[in-house]
Amino acid sequence: MIEESAVNKVLERLPIIEAQLSEPGQAANQTQFQALVREHAALKGLSEKAEYFFGLQRRISENQALIADATIDEEIKELARAEIEETEPALPAAEKALMVALLPPDESEERNAVMEIRAGTGGDEAALFAADLFRMYSRYAEAHSWQIKLVDASHTDTGGYKEIVFTVEGNHVFRDLQYESGGHRVQRIPVTESSGRIHTSAATVAVFPEAEAQDEIAIPPDEIRIDIFRSSGPGGQSVNTTDSAVRLTHVPTGIVVQCQDEKSQHRNRERALSVLKTRILDLRRREEAARIGASRRAMIGSGDRSERIRTYNFPQNRLTDHRINVTLYSLDKIIEGDLDELVAALRDHDVELRIADELAERAGGG
């Protein structure tokens, strides 16, 4: 049971933040100001949920006291019983909402994301599936007014991608896309298959929260090897006549990032460096993830591309997410970007795991 005194202790910070936000010149430091705004919004939400939950508890307790009082008229007791019957069903949902509001915030969820899609086993069909996944995420982004910017792409002659790297910018991007990391398997009849046999192929997806200025990720110049080359398009054809594409190799970690989408070598280098910092930030996050509950690590993914998370079965119009054992017979809509139902199910399950971890930690005295 959630103790009201414990919640009030957390809410003691609310007037402090409100006072800080009202200070003249506070908005001059946008990084600090935005952090305060986010914390204020979270605490206001916690305050509202706490008021509702503990208000329900008090109403039930007061009505129970009326029923137990021998001096109270039976007609009033009947009204009290009726109010308890009306109020009690709302208690579990209110308690869960309050528990969610009490969870430690994950500031990464508000960040933009860098995504990488790579064709796996299956040759040309795998590359075409990688292209289908990119289109699916592009349409999902468009539906949420997010913006996609291409960083790098390795095309195939059939119109697929061996690999494609892009950023997604907007509100709550990483919050919703973080569950896409892992192996995606497709079962369908390839357009080149004359006998109508179903083929199985795969692509892998990796999603990283984009590094930001406040992360202060400094990379010494001697730790980066820079290669400049000519940009290429489908089939290896040159897409511009200057050596503007940039490949960065972070020597200590072996991380390789390249960008060739911009015509300017300077812009390609700038964007490649941004993605490299994002990848280094992801290494730090994985170290931090080792300290969170094992059950949730399994949910959000280890970052291992070989971990199969989802199957797309086109003949049966079926999508199965293996982490939450959810099967949806609406693949035709999902592949066109209608991911909302799936994302909501993944987020709900993740929240359940976070709550379970938090309760286990409290029970263990952590």
pLDDT at residue number 232:
66
Q: What is the pLDDT of residue 301?
A: 47
* Secondary structure (DSSP) of 133-149: HHHHHHHHHHHTT-EEE
Question: What are the boundaries of each domain within the chain?
Answer: 4-102, 107-352
CATH class of the 107-352 domain in this structure? alpha beta
Distance CA 126, CA 190 (A): 10
The tally of CA atoms less than 13 A away on the side-chain side of residue 266 is 0
CA-CA distance, 173 to 113, in Å (whole number)? Answer: 6
Inter-residue contact 28 to 36 (CB < 8 Å) = no
Q: Sorting pLDDT into bands at 50, 70 and 90, what band is 352?
A: confident
**What CA–CA distance (Å, rounded) separates 180 from 116?**
10
Say what the pLDDT of residue 11 is: 92
pLDDT at 205 (0 to 100):
95
Distance of alpha carbon 99 from the chain centroid: 20
pLDDT at 366 (0 to 100): 47
Average pLDDT value for residue range 247-264: 87
* Per-residue pLDDT, 305: 56
When mean pLDDT is compared over 160-174, 256-270, 280-294, the highest value belongs to: 160-174
- Residue 363 is predicted with a pLDDT of 61
Q: Residue 318: is its pLDDT beyond 90?
A: yes
* C-alpha dist (Å) from residue 107 to 193, 211, 215, 218: 47, 12, 12, 20
pLDDT at position 242 is 62
Q: Is the pLDDT of residue 364 over 70?
A: no
Average pLDDT of the residues in 158-183? 94
Q: Please give the pLDDT value at position 359.
A: 67
Lowest mean pLDDT among 97-101, 112-116, 143-147: 97-101
CB-based contact 351:296 (threshold 8 Å): no
* Confidence check: pLDDT of 12 > 80: yes
More confident residue, 230 or 141: 141
pLDDT-derived band at 66 (thresholds 50, 70, 90) equals very high
Q: pLDDT above 90 covers what percent of the chain?
A: 55
- Return the structure tokens found at 316: 């049966």
The contacts of residue 57 (CB under 8 Å, 6+ apart) are 91
> Looking at residues 283-302, what average pLDDT do you find?
59
**For range 282-298, the mean pLDDT:** 64
What six digits make up the tokens of 100? 């969610």
Handedness of CA 61, 67, 68, 71 (dihedral sign): positive
30-39, 131-140, 231-240: the lowest-pLDDT one = 231-240
Q: Which pLDDT score is estimated for 196?
A: 80
Residue 290, pLDDT above cutoff 70: no
Dig out the tokens for 82 from the structure.
Answer: 């009726």
- Residue 324 predicted with pLDDT over 80: yes
* Confidence at residue 72, expressed as pLDDT on a 0 to 100 scale: 92
